[in-house]
């Protein structure tokens, strides 16, 4: 079958084969079909390595499906299964299991994507058309393992993009190196979309294969994936409460950080009557042992170099003003806001905040907000932030005619 833009690579029969295995419908279909229909592969199974990088936030149903259906097939065929995880925020990986007789799934390593999002006070984001979360939790970790495993020697790299994901496959090809030979059997050889994968796995296991995604995945909340996400939060309200908690801190530090872009997770919970999710989330916030912080958030929004009238890069500084019981921290927010000539009040998400320096209409723009949210996000700013902030505050006090000159001189 011909698909625009996706090159077919002629497989070299004796190369090792690595399947990047995300545990979702698509990669599970490839692995299951290779195991039960040997004529669908052109290599012996002793040449195959199945590799999974754990985010630490996959749902338990994924573990159950794997242990019930795929691990027994892999053990019977003695397929090598390597489970890895990012080692730490700074990078590296750890091997959680490496076996031709995998007995169980190890769904969490020393690092967890949600921990990283909590400490940075953000929700998953896309940058340069890449899902940063997926890159940090999976792509970069797998790449590091492949580099160590194959030591620059060529290998066939099989990825489970479904037939409707041609664009992702085309993008993936742009990262190809001399030793990595990417293959997309669902696109190039079988023409299987996700529906076909779903039918195949259901006919094989007599059970629906569920989506393997972090419970707060904003990409699962797209128009097509929303009904499944809502049902998942209804069935496992703790997962929905986790998503609300993640979003709450992100919104405190940036009110534009709605989990689903134009829609917040709070909206989704309200619109779909997910009362149990809401109740559990509020219960967490009300616990006396829950500590809260007063976050002092500043932003410098630079102008674009090629068009100073348009928004360029944004630098953010987060400082922790005070940590304690919620009531005390809210009181501190009111006091500091009053001192700065502003006032603190609850916004539409129930977050106490005060705009100390509202963002102006032109660039560079400065912005400063005090916001109250659960403790956990870490203070962070780039080294040059403070000097730029001082300089721009000084500049904004100057007459209009000299402002841009000062900025350029900096
Ligand atoms: S949040 Fe979504 S895209 Fe990001 S790693 Fe988790 S499942 Fe993948």
Please report the pLDDT score of residue 221 as a whole number: 65
For every residue of 216-265, DSSP letters joined together read T-TTTTSTTTHHHHHHHHHH-HHHHHHHHHHHHHHHHH-TT--TBTTB-H
Tell me: the pLDDT tens digits for 190-231?
A: 999 999 999 999 999 999 998 788 989 988 766 667 888 899
Q: For residue 318, which of 80, 107, 118 has the smallest C-alpha distance? A: 118
Helices H, strands E: what count in the chain? Answer: 16, 13
Q: How far apart are CA 407 and CA 410, in angstroms?
A: 5
Question: For 17-111+126-205, CATH number?
Answer: 3.40.50
For every residue of 56-74, DSSP letters joined together read S---HHHHHHIIIIIHHHH
Q: By percentage, how much of the chain surpasses pLDDT 90?
A: 81
Q: How far apart are CA 216 and CA 88, in angstroms?
A: 21
By the 8 A CB rule, do 197 and 26 touch?
yes
Q: Whose CA is nearest to atom 1 of ligand 1?
A: 217
Tell me: the pLDDT tens digits for 44-83?
A: 999 999 999 999 999 888 999 999 999 999 999 999 999 9
Q: How far apart are CA 158 and CA 81, in angstroms?
A: 14
| Its pTM surpasses 0.75 | yes
Average pLDDT over the chain, rounded to an integer: 92
| pLDDT tier, 330 (very low <50, low <70, confident <90, very high otherwise) | very high
Which of 59, 117, 131 has most ligand 1 atoms within 8 Å of CB, for mutation?
131
Residue 260 corresponds to which tokens in the numbers above?
């689903």
Q: Report the atom number in ligand 1 closest to the C-alpha of 132.
A: 4
Q: How far apart are CA 98 and CA 50, in angstroms?
A: 10
Lowest mean pLDDT across 46-60, 233-247, 393-407: 393-407
Q: What are the residues whose beta carbons fall under 8 Å from the beta carbon of 347, sequence distance 6 or more? A: 255, 353
Angle at 109 between CA 103 and CA 114, to 5 degrees: 130
Please report the pLDDT score of residue 211 as a whole number: 79
What is the location of CATH 3.40.50 in the chain?
17-111+126-205
The Å distance, Cα 264 to ligand 1 centre, comes to 17
Q: How far apart are CA 206 and CA 202, in angstroms?
A: 5
The Å distance, Cα 97 to ligand 1 centre, comes to 22
Q: Report the atom number in ligand 1 closest to the C-alpha of 57.
A: 6
Q: Report the atom number in ligand 1 closest to the C-alpha of 213.
A: 7
Q: Whose CA is nearest to atom 2 of ligand 1?
A: 217
Residue 390 corresponds to which tokens in the numbers above?
């001082």
More confident: 12 or 366:
366
Tell me: the pLDDT tens digits for 337-392?
A: 999 999 999 999 999 999 999 998 999 999 999 999 999 999 999 999 999 999 99
Q: How far apart are CA 25 and CA 12, in angstroms?
A: 27
Please report the pLDDT score of residue 2 as a whole number: 41
The Å distance, Cα 243 to ligand 1 centre, comes to 12
Residues with CB under 6 A from ligand 1: 55, 113, 124, 131, 133-134, 137, 213-214, 217, 219
More confident: 177 or 380:
380
Q: Whose CA is nearest to atom 6 of ligand 1?
A: 214
The Å distance, Cα 330 to ligand 1 centre, comes to 33
23 phi and psi angles, rounded to 5 deg: 75, 5
The Å distance, Cα 213 to ligand 1 centre, comes to 6
Q: Whose CA is nearest to atom 8 of ligand 1?
A: 134
Q: How far apart are CA 229 and CA 222, in angstroms?
A: 9
Q: How far apart are CA 23 and CA 10, in angstroms?
A: 26
Asked whether residue 400 carries a pLDDT value surpassing 70, the answer given is no
The Å distance, Cα 298 to ligand 1 centre, comes to 28
Asked whether residue 393 carries a pLDDT value surpassing 60, the answer given is yes
């Amino acid at each position: 079958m011909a698909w625009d833009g996706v090159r077919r690579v002629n497989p070299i029969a004796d190369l090792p084969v690595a399947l990047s295995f995300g545990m979702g419908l698509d990669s599970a279909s490839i692995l299951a079909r290779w195991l039960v229909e040997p004529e669908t592969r052109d290599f012996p199974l002793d040449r195959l390595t199945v590799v999974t990088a754990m985010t630490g936030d996959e749902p338990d149903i994924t573990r159950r499906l794997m242990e019930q259906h795929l691990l027994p097939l892999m053990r019977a065929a003695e397929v090598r299964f390597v489970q890895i995880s990012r080692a730490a925020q700074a990078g590296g990986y750890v091997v959680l299991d490496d076996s031709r007789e995998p007995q169980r799934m190890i769904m969490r390593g020393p690092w967890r994507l949600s921990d990283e999002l909590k400490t940075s006070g953000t929700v998953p984001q896309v940058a340069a058309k890449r899902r940063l979360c997926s890159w940090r939790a999976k792509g970069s970790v797998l790449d590091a393992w492949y580099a160590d495993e194959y030591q620059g020697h060529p290998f066939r790299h099989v990825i489970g993009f479904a037939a409707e994901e041609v664009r992702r496959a085309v993008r993936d090809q742009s990262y190809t190196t001399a030793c990595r030979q990417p293959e997309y059997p669902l696109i190039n050889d079988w023409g299987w979309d996700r529906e076909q994968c779903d039918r195949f796995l259901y006919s094989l296991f007599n059970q629906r294969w569920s989506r393997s995604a972090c419970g707060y995945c904003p990409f699962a909340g797209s128009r097509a994936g929303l009904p499944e996400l809502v049902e998942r939060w209804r069935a496992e309200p703790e997962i929905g409460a986790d998503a609300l908690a993640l979003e709450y801190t992100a919104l405190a530090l940036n009110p534009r950080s709605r989990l689903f872009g134009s829609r917040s997770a709070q909206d989704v919970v309200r619109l779909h009557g997910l009362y149990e999710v809401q109740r559990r989330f509020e219960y967490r916030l009300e616990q006396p042992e829950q500590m809260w912080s007063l976050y002092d958030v500043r932003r410098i929004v630079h102008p674009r170099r090629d068009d100073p009238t348009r928004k360029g890069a944004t630098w953010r500084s987060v400082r922790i003003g005070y940590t304690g019981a919620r009531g005390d921290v809210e009181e501190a927010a009111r006091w500091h806001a009053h001192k700065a000539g502003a006032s603190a009040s609850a916004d539409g998400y129930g977050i106490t905040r005060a705009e100390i320096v509202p963002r102006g209409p032109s660039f560079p723009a400065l912005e400063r907000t005090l916001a109250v949210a659960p403790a956990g996000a870490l203070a962070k700013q780039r080294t040059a932030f403070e000097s730029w902030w001082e300089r721009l505050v000084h500049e904004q006090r100057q007459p209009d005619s000299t402002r841009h000159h000062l900025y350029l001189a900096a």
